[in-house]
């Protein structure tokens, strides 16, 4: 097994289910929101590092359509966290090369967050670096249902519908399929994340809690990916 990153085989699209913020805080006898705050700052760190490696798209799961079931004070905190973050770092984001886009429902979040998301998307739309896809009030089943509604409204001919056309109606329309899916904190499930887009993704699960997931951990995930034999249903040359 290779132990070093092969810079010529970097996954184009990495998706991360960033899990374990609550447990990270609990281990320190702190409230769960302390873990969310720490976790939010880690996104920037990992995004910058992924960009430096040549990753093109980083999708991060920040709030699921099911996370509304949490206690209201935690939900409120999670709703305010991106507002605080983007207001504080707007200028830094403007001067960076990171392109930010959002996936998920737009009808249940506050106007303030909606406006800010649009502003950030617009402000970074010509940036040439990594695309950071922030999945917020995102659920894959919800995304698929919304895509069906959108294609119906657009008058698509269902009889001739194919996978390529359908993909264009998903929130991730321009982002392509996921190559590597990472989940932190030891949970072995997908929790409704990018179900369509991960059809041929390689999975990497680690016990590390999200706030502790650093550059070295991303290296490990990528090295693991690079040691996989991706066949896409075919047969590799050497096995023919
Ligand atoms: C992930 O951390 C962040 C969100 C789901 C918003 P959790 O809050 O799920 O942390 P754990 O799983 O309870 O440790
Ligand atoms: C998945 O984590 C959602 C996000 C990371 C935003 P959860 O902690 O909500 O998932 P479950 O409940 O353990 O499946
Ligand atoms: Mg969790």
Q: Is 167 in the pocket of ligand 2 (CB under 6 A)?
A: no
Q: Which DSSP helix (H) or strand (E) runs through 36?
A: helix 32-53
Atom of ligand 2 nearest to the CA of 191: 14
Supply the pLDDT for residue 109: 98
Per-residue pLDDT, 240: 65
Q: Of 32, 39, 59, whose CA–CA distance to 190 is shortest?
A: 59
CA 43/CA 169 separation, integer angstroms: 27
Positive or negative torsion for Cα 26, 75, 221, 96: negative
Phi, psi (degrees; rounded to nearest 5) at 221: -65, -40
Task: Give, for ligand 2, the residue of 17, 18, 19 to mutate: max count of ligand atoms closer than 8 Å to Cβ.
Answer: 19
The CA R_g of the chain, rounded to the nearest whole Å, is 18
Q: Please report, for the chain, the start and end positions of each structural domain, with discontinuous segments joined by +.
A: 8-139+177-228
- pLDDT tens, position by position, 139-162: 999 999 999 999 999 999 999 999
17 lines ligand 2 (CB under 6 A): yes
Task: Summarize pLDDT for 24-57 with one digit per residue, the tens.
Answer: 999 999 999 999 999 999 999 999 999 999 999 9
In sequence order, what are the beta bridge partners of 138?
Answer: 64
State which residues of the chain have pLDDT below 50: none
Q: Which residue out of 16, 17, 23, 70 has the highest number of ligand 1 atoms within 8 Å of its CB and is therefore the one to mutate?
A: 23
Say what the pLDDT of residue 237 is: 72
Active site residue 107: no
CA distance 107 to 36: 23
Q: What is the pLDDT of residue 236?
A: 79
Q: What pTM value is reported for the model? A: 0.97
CATH of 8-139+177-228, one of 3.40.1180.10, 3.40.640.10, 3.30.1330.60, 3.50.50.60: 3.40.1180.10
Q: Quick one: pLDDT at residue 239?
A: 67
| Closest ligand relative to 35 C-alpha | 1
Whether 179 is a known active-site residue: answer: no
pLDDT of residue 54: 98
Kind and range of the H or E run holding 60: strand 57-64
CA 22 to ligand 3 center in whole angstroms: 7
Question: CB of 36 within 8 A of CB of 77?
Answer: yes
For the CA of 189, the nearest atom of ligand 2: 14
Other beta carbons within 10 angstroms of residue 49's beta carbon come to 17
Q: How far is the CA of 25 from the centre of ligand 3 (A)?
A: 12
Predicted confidence at residue 180, as pLDDT, reads: 98
């Amino acid at each position: 097994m290779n132990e070093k990153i092969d810079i010529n085989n970097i996954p184009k699209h990495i998706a991360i289910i960033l899990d374990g913020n609550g447990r990270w805080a609990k281990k320190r006898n702190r409230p769960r929101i302390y873990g969310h705050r720490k976790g939010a700052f880690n996104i920037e760190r990992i995004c910058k590092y992924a960009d430096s490696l040549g990753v093109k798209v980083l999708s991060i799961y920040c709030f699921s359509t099911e996370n509304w079931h949490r206690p209201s004070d935690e939900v409120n905190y999670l709703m305010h966290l991106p507002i605080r973050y983007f207001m504080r770092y707007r200028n830094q984001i403007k001067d960076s090369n990171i392109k930010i886009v959002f996936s998920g429902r737009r009808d249940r979040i506050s106007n303030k967050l909606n406006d800010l998301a649009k502003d950030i998307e617009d402000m970074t739309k010509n940036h040439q670096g990594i695309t950071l896809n922030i999945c917020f009030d995102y659920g894959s089943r919800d995304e698929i249902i919304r895509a069906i509604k959108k294609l119906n409204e657009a008058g698509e001919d269902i009889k001739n519908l194919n996978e390529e056309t359908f993909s264009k109606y998903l929130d991730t329309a321009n982002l392509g399929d996921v190559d590597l899916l990472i989940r932190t904190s030891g949970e072995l499930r997908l929790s409704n994340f990018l179900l369509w887009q991960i059809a041929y993704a390689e999975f990497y699960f680690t016990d590390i809690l999200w706030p502790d997931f650093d550059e070295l951990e991303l290296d490990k995930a990528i090295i693991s990916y690079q040691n996989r034999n991706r066949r896409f249903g075919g047969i590799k040359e050497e096995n023919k």
